[in-house]
Structures are given as structure tokens and as C-alpha cells.
Structure 1
Amino acid sequence: MRTTQQFSITLTNEMADMVRSRVASGAYASESEVIREGLRALNERDKALESWLSNTAAPALDALRNNPDSGRSSKQIRAAIRAEK
């Protein structure tokens, strides 16, 4: 059984230039390798977002729904962000 499949894709000129540039720089051996790496990065980003939504955003929303008085104003949030820097 084949472990790969061939696709034909259409890219904008800008994206095609980016792919060619990465190959020409020697960072990648082929155009396919550039596309595969891009898909891996997209998959990792999606996993990270899903993890954040499940582990951070949803629990925070649940906590706020259970105790609306625990919410913070945008002014308080900005101050907390400034304090972290």
C-alpha cells in the first residue's frame, strides 16, 4: 500500500515564490518538502489552539459563568498585562 499520495495544487504567485525561495536557499530539498512542513506547522497550530480552548478558555468561561463577580474590566486586564512586562 502506498504511504504517499500525489496532489496538484494551485498557489498564488507570492506563495509559489516563497516555496521556490525556500528550496533555492537550501533549507528544503523540494517544493513538496516545503508544503509538507507548512502542513505540519498548521496541524501543530491547530492542536495548540484546541488545547488552549479546552484547557484555558473553556474553564475560564465556566468559572465566569459560575461566579460573574469574578470578572475583570478591560482596564484591570490592561493593568495586569502591563504588570507582567
Structure 2
Amino acid sequence: MSTMNISLPDSLKTYVDEQVAGRQFGTSSEYVRDLIRRDQDRQRLRGLLLDGATSGTGAVADPAYFDALRKRVRQGKAD
């Protein structure tokens, strides 16, 4: 594991300390790692949403669509 040192103004350091204590993180490093992971997840979701928005229209999700989907799942063909 690599080490990174950061400088924070006192107000942000106080905030981090409060989050560590109040949200039951063991250390400030655990809190920062959690923030980074959440940001990665947010970026992935944003990418997926943008991909979906530019992918064009898909199948109509009407009752017949869901009936066919249920049938495929029951037959073990979820593709």
C-alpha cells in the first residue's frame, strides 16, 4: 500500500475528525478511502448513465416484454 500525505485547513481537519468519530471509521485514512471509493462509484454510474443516454431507444417495456422475460428466465435463458 502506498502512502499519501495531504494538508488540510483546520476547519476541514476538524470535519474529518468528526466524521471519523461519528461514523465509526477507525482512522482518517479509512474515511478518505471511503470517499474515494464513493467517488469512483459515482464516476462509473455517471459513465453508465451517459452511455445509456446516447445508446438510442431500446425495446418497449410493455406487459408482453415482461411476460417474455419471465418465460426466458424460467427456461434458464436470461440473455
- Establish whether TM, by shorter chain, passes 0.5: yes
Letter in 2 for 1:7: M
Whether 1:48 aligns to 2:45 is yes
Deviations 1:13-67 (A, max 9, x none): 33322210012225200000000000000000000000000112x135xx7xxxx
Q: What runs of 5+ residues in structure 2 fail to find an aligned partner? A: 58-79
SS of 1:15's partner is helix
For residue 25 of structure 1, what is the aligned residue in structure 2? 22
Q: What does residue range 1-85 of structure 1 map to in structure 2 within 5 Å?
A: 4-25=1-22, 27-56=24-53, 58-59=54-55
Kindly report the root-mean-square deviation, in angstroms, between the aligned alpha carbons of the 2 structures.
Answer: 1.8
Using a 3 Å threshold, how does the CA distance of structure 1 residues 23 and 44 change in structure 2: closer, same or farther?
same
More helix by share: 1
Q: What runs of 5+ residues in structure 1 fail to find an aligned partner? A: 64-85
Superposition TM-score, scaled by structure 2 size:
0.61
Superposition TM-score, scaled by structure 1 size:
0.58
Runs of 4+, deviation exceeding 2 Å: 11-15
The number of equivalent residue pairs is 57
